[in-house]
Amino acid sequence: MSTNDRLLALLPDLAVLVKVVESGSFSAAARALNSPPSSVSRQISRLEAALKVQLFVRTTRTLRLTESGQAIVQHATDMLAAARAAVAVSEVRATPQGWVRLSAPKAFAKQVIQPLLGEFLRHYPEVNVQLIVTDRLTDLLQEDIDLAVRITDQPPEGFIAKALMPIEQVLVASSGYLQQRGTPQAPDELTQHDCIYLGEHANDNRWLLRQGDISHSVAVSGRFIANHTEIRLAAALDDWGIASLPHFTAQAALQDGRLTRVLPNWQLQTAYQGTAYLLYPPNRYLAPKVRGLVDWLVLHV
């Protein structure tokens, strides 16, 4: 048996030694430990044999520590105090508290995540959140990020992935625009309309629409383009044309009738679609503060 193994084997007996001293007798310690007095006596004898010292001077009426016993009890008491401190730390950390760093794409962060954080922070008053708003694919491990939202058809391997919501791209326009210019009934008719698209890449004006097994590619044009979803939303509401938007951006305006779906039976295919996943590294003991935010977002998104 190695030295470390021998030391580990002594720890329960050292704890019993402290209890005997605190209780004042073997029998009182046995009652406190819910053990037979003979078991406590054997543990003390085993400890004396292992340490090669006499711990107590025993008489029929008294139990007194030897000089060596006093020194050993002091170290054993310190050991138990350290163990209690470790347990206290784990109990404190069982309460959600501290900073959680969450990264998310810009539009999703502002329009989906941010509205949920106020109530979360009120529900968990000891938890703080840093929301990192970026369309860049963050590296959770290298950048010390606890959680990341990734919109994809296939979450990356090596991470826990919790599905938050499907991301669908829709074509929308205001009633004012449609009354003036008409409502397209087929993808080809989009070429006769002002269309509001991203404009970040050369092919952003080529919309690919799919209906079942049928797909149709249309080169669209318009008087205004913008690579910001809320700006495209505002432009559509202001009758500037037919806009491509994530459904979560257009949802409120669709529900209250300010916008109308265009070609609702066709699905617009873009890179910004799939499922919004909440990613975090696999960890057997996920911090309560992180677990709290994970559960909150899964429940409320």
pLDDT at 88: 57
Say how many C-beta atoms besides its own lie within 10 A of residue 139's C-beta: 11
pLDDT at 266: 96
pLDDT at 87: 63
30 membership: H or E segment, kind and range: helix 26-33
- Dist CA 297 CA 299 (whole Å): 5
- Summarised one tens digit per residue, pLDDT across range 231-266 is 999 999 999 999 999 999 999 999 999 999 999 999
pLDDT at 142: 85
pLDDT at 83: 74
pLDDT at 271: 75
Say how many C-beta atoms besides its own lie within 10 A of residue 239's C-beta: 16
Would you put residue 102 in left (φ > 0), alpha (ψ -120 to 50) or beta? beta
- Dist CA 211 CA 27 (whole Å): 83
For the question of whether the overall pTM of this predicted structure is more than 0.85, the answer is no
- Dist CA 149 CA 272 (whole Å): 13
Query: Residue 46 in 3-state DSSP?
Result: helix
Q: 52 near 46, Cβ under 8 Å?
A: no
Say how many C-beta atoms besides its own lie within 10 A of residue 73's C-beta: 18
pLDDT at 78: 84
**Mean pLDDT of all residues in the chain?**
90
- The distance of Cα 154 from the centroid of its chain, to the nearest Å, equals 19
Two tokens, residue 261: 């779906």
Which residues contact residue 148 at a Cβ distance below 8 angstroms, ignoring those fewer than 6 apart?
102, 103, 104, 138, 140, 278, 279, 280
Give every residue of the chain whose pLDDT is below 70, as ranges.
Answer: 1-7, 85-94, 284
